[in-house]
Structure 1
Amino acid sequence: MRTPLTLICLAAAQAVAAAPTPERHAQALLDAMRDAAAVPGMSAAIWQGGRMRWQGSSGWRDVEHQLPVQAGTRFRLASVSKLFAVTMAAQLRAEGKLDADQPVGALLPGLDTAIAALTPRQLAAHLSGMPHYEWRDVTRGHTHHAKARDALVHMKGRELVATPGSRYLYSSWGYTLLGAAAEAAAGQPYLDRLHSRVAPGLDIGPDETGTSATMSGAYEYANGGVQPAPAHDFSYSWGGAGLAASAPALAEWGSRVLQGRVVDAATRDWMWQPTLNNAGQPVTSGNSTLGFGWRLGVDAQGLRIVHHAGSALGARSVLLLWPQADTSVSLLSNVMWTSSIERSAELLSAPFRAPLPDLPPRACPVKTTGFDAELDGAPLQGRARFRVDEDGLCRGELGLPAVLAKVVNQGPQPPADQLVVIGLQGGLARAALASPIGLSDWQAQADGSFRVDGVAGRKLVVRLTP
């Protein structure tokens, strides 16, 4: 016969068992995000305090053969590759082999005069005046370059489009030049230095799409669905877009940077100081300030972050670091999709970070049937339903009103007809809203409504109805 104390203990044990773990939260968010955006495959990882906290995979690395993404699946890094170029350059600076303010022509003879006068600091912060890809570059990706300096053939006759140091102009060609300068300063091929000194022992290296079994396929949206992307050789820019990595390897590399194991702490902090333009003002792009290639900012709660995202043929990627929380988050996918990927990575890692204080409690609203909302003050409404799943997660689906559909169905990914809500904290006190453009932050308000931040910069307020 069970005593009352036994029954109380059993109930407590069941309650603990039903509580969703951070790992379950994160996987549910990754799956919901991939499904909402119709991305073929995604992978993510979180390192915290110098150890792996979680790795998640979702979807297919090979759509045709239905091969799932695995922990070791490598994805194109796109412009996240730039972080390795600037960190290599900073490493060489610390060794006295590269001066961030010396013209690269001193390392790379034969450059056109204007390009030879550019400095690593200008190139890293997109202050060089170098153009991004132009019409003349339509055939890039058709030729393989064995070394970074071999890609300097693309610099011939290329004209600057702004005075160096005057203003921010994003240029991946600037990173082709920076990678070549780092290679020359190191006295060894770029990829050799990457493997031996910048990311030793990690599954990080050149893009090998189509030639390696550990690489994910590269895909694009076309004709209303997903299809293989055309072959593309990114060796014209090892420093700007040409690398690949698994999500765990990328997150571990970010953790090493945080802990001063790639460059020393003083050099790391130097990389994370704002770069100034000719007028003495910090260089900015969007909500970020530019350091030595790294983007500096704050998250939705005002905590300091350093990061970089990427978007390229067959790839969307991000690495996001919290220096004060010793947390590194990677999020990789195998198709270019429109998203707020930094905010998505931030929310993906939320279960492993401190909960938000002072949010009003909200139980999972399982009796809800609809919602009223305001989008930038304009009213809208739709159906809604919520449930608690077998892992204790509060899950909801919201019908997608036409006005809101125009905001989240921006393409190129296929349009969605509903949004998904995954509880993060206290039932539904905090949640993530999954849409085709990634994850948005859902928070309970004192008046009974929910504020949703990160929906393409729009102001969305939701009230659930019985």
Structure 2
Amino acid sequence: MRVTSFRPSAPLRSTACVLALSCMAAPALAADTCTGPSDDAGAATAQQLLQALVATNGVPGMGAAVWRDDRVVWTGCAGLRDVEAHAPVQRDTVFRLASVSKVIAATAAAKLAEEGRIDIDAPVGDALPWLPAAWSPVTVRQLASHTSGAPHYAGNDLQVLGRVRYPTARDAVGIFSGRALLSAPGTTYHYSSWGYTLLGAVIEARSGEHFLDYVRHHVTDGLAIGADGETDGGRASQLYDIEHGAVRHVPRTDMSYTWPGGGLAATPEALATFGGRVLQHRIVGAARWQAMQQPTRLVSGEPAHDSTYDVGFGWRIGRDADGEPIAHHAGITTGARSMLMLWPAQDTAASMLSNARWVSAMEPTAQLLAAPFRPQPNGLVAAACPASGRLAGTLKGARFDTDASFRIEDGRCVGELVATEIEPLRAFFASAYAWPDQRLRIVSLTADSSLSRAALVTPYGLYDLRAISARRWSVTFNADATLELAL
């Protein structure tokens, strides 16, 4: 596609592959389980988790990767990238990133700020004189942290968008710039993908490059990350809907209305490597990266907050189940569910991508996929792999008994619980889009024949199951629901 209506504040730099993922360099070889079994115990465990997840959640295909200590230590594939063609997910399969695109856009803005080309606390109207007056006072910091007052998609936006190609972010801003802000800038957290489209326009104005060009040249150089729908050679996964029964193919739409907010695509390995580059300060320096991890303050002085995390400059900031600091972002859109999680203190990044939207616990799932490559937490209780038989369970005060089977596979304790007739489990997972065999799977995170710590594989994702005695195990689903199992 030729960009014909770009109106930069500085001359547009010419480039040969403005949008195409096919122009990007091939990824360097990495430890992977996409092409066959791995001799690495951590990679084998992570692959078993990913395969068990696809078997349980009904998503056609998923890919994941873990970056640690300057390299990708695992790339995993499970399921199909093209159901109709029976084509498997491969190491170079490209998935939609959905809102994980936002951390890439925020990093691009942070780089321009580091170079002195963007003032993140100045009104964006300084860079965009064509912007309506009501929107001009908002700042880049507010856009990146969802505190600008910008609205999110509304009405029939998602029914009509995706049918028109918007050549630049400025063109896409015209969709919503006539709408009112929801609140005064800086006063309230309100998630907004439209705010990121506006952020893309600022990046274009201050860099003098098309948003996609600037990202490709300066943020994701050499990585398989680019505009959704622009992949050549059959590498892009197809898009699927599993919410309404049988797996249904979904036509691809044009994502140019939200390239910065949800319109990018990548391989899992490329996305994890981007996370690694952020951790290594190869895109922005250490001071800027540290500033991006600080909670944004509202006018009231309170931190911008949503659910279980504070909101920094593009990144969601919190701690994992063991108290380790994390920076992360998840995404959801038609034909995609995505996650990128970083452990800044442990030099680790994990990506997880799928080709269908599903009810999912993204944060614990990413944490457990990365667990085989991270230090084991302190205080684990020793417990042997149980013999097959009956387990007693409790969930939200309801008691039940269930048959469970366990075995040792390549040193790992693995098990299955049949949930078909267990009302507390069926009720808890009732909103799952799919749950093909009504089973919960258990996969130990270590290959020492123990069941001290494992992943409980559910239709919502992976949850951390830990022994609380030699014959009892517990897993926390959320603040109101803990499952206990006992021999």
* TM-score category (smaller protein): over 0.9
Distance 1:212 1:162 in 2: 45
Q: Give the secondary-structure state (helix, strand or coil) at the position aligned to 1:239.
A: helix
Distance 1:307 1:45 in 2: 15
Alpha-carbon distance change, 338 to 315 in structure 1, aligned in 2, over 3 angstroms? same
**Are 1:26 and 2:46 matched, yes or no?**
yes
Distance 1:210 1:270 in 2: 34
Moved more, 401-410 or 177-186: 401-410
| TM score, norm. by length of structure 2 | 0.88
Alpha-carbon distance change, 220 to 457 in structure 1, aligned in 2, over 3 angstroms? farther
CA-to-aligned-CA distance 1:140-192 (integer Å, 9 cap, x gap): 11111222222112123211122221111111011111111111111110111
> CA offset at residue 291 of structure 1?
0.7
Alpha-carbon distance change, 333 to 60 in structure 1, aligned in 2, over 3 angstroms? same
> Which of 275, 280, 296 is the matching residue for 2:301?
280
Matches within 5 A, 1:213-292: 213-292=234-313
Distance 1:414 1:355 in 2: 30
CA contact (8 A) 2:56 2:435 kept: no
Q: Give the secondary-structure state (helix, strand or coil) at the position aligned to 1:135.
A: coil
Q: Which residue number in structure 1 is paired with residue 418 of structure 2? A: 399
Q: Give the secondary-structure state (helix, strand or coil) at the position aligned to 1:351.
A: helix
Q: Which residue number in structure 1 is paired with residue 469 of structure 2? A: 446
Moved more, 369-378 or 251-260: 369-378
Matches within 5 A, 1:131-280: 131-137=151-157, 138-208=159-229, 213-280=234-301
Q: Which residue number in structure 2 is paired with residue 116 of structure 1? A: 136
Matches within 5 A, 1:34-433: 34-137=54-157, 138-208=159-229, 213-365=234-386, 367-389=387-409, 391-400=410-419, 401-414=422-435, 416-425=437-446, 426=448, 427-433=450-456
Distance 2:285 2:48 in 1: 37
Moved more, 143-152 or 335-344: 143-152
CA contact (8 A) 2:189 2:305 kept: yes
CA contact (8 A) 1:86 1:292 kept: yes
Alpha-carbon distance change, 321 to 210 in structure 1, aligned in 2, over 3 angstroms? closer
Look up the equivalent residue of 1:461 and give its one-letter code: E
Q: Which residue number in structure 2 is paired with residue 437 of structure 1? A: 460
Alpha-carbon distance change, 128 to 150 in structure 1, aligned in 2, over 3 angstroms? same
Q: Give the secondary-structure state (helix, strand or coil) at the position aligned to 1:155.
A: coil
Distance 2:40 2:415 in 1: 16
CA contact (8 A) 2:413 2:451 kept: yes
Q: Give the secondary-structure state (helix, strand or coil) at the position aligned to 2:175.
A: helix
Look up the equivalent residue of 1:374 and give its one-letter code: T
Moved more, 83-92 or 230-239: 230-239
CA-to-aligned-CA distance 1:287-309 (integer Å, 9 cap, x gap): 11111111111000000111101
> CA offset at residue 414 of structure 1?
4.1
Q: Give the secondary-structure state (helix, strand or coil) at the position aligned to 1:113.
A: coil
Distance 1:193 1:463 in 2: 55
CA contact (8 A) 2:398 2:424 kept: no
Moved more, 300-309 or 446-455: 446-455
Q: Which residue number in structure 2 is paired with residue 14 of structure 1? A: none
Look up the equivalent residue of 2:471 and give its one-letter code: G
Distance 2:91 2:349 in 1: 16
Q: Give the secondary-structure state (helix, strand or coil) at the position aligned to 2:363.
A: helix
> CA offset at residue 448 of structure 1?
2.9
CA-to-aligned-CA distance 1:17-71 (integer Å, 9 cap, x gap): xx98111100000001111101100001111001111110001010000001111
> CA offset at residue 116 of structure 1?
1.7
Moved more, 130-139 or 46-55: 130-139
Distance 1:415 1:158 in 2: 43
> CA offset at residue 429 of structure 1?
0.5
| TM score, norm. by length of structure 1 | 0.92
Q: Which residue number in structure 2 is paired with residue 9 of structure 1? A: none
Aligned length: 445
Distance 1:370 1:228 in 2: 40
CA-to-aligned-CA distance 1:352-377 (integer Å, 9 cap, x gap): 11112222211211x23121111122
Distance 1:39 1:279 in 2: 43
CA contact (8 A) 2:292 2:315 kept: yes
Distance 1:416 1:283 in 2: 41
> CA offset at residue 412 of structure 1?
2.1
Q: Which residue number in structure 2 is paired with residue 3 of structure 1? A: none
CA contact (8 A) 1:359 1:444 kept: yes
CA contact (8 A) 1:343 1:454 kept: no
Distance 1:449 1:455 in 2: 19
> CA offset at residue 136 of structure 1?
4.3
Distance 1:110 1:407 in 2: 51
What is the percent sequence identity of the aligned residues? 44
The structure with the largest helix share of the pair is 1
Structure 1 unmatched runs, 5+:
1-18
CA contact (8 A) 1:209 1:217 kept: no
> CA offset at residue 93 of structure 1?
0.5
Q: Give the secondary-structure state (helix, strand or coil) at the position aligned to 1:116.
A: coil
Distance 1:275 1:416 in 2: 44
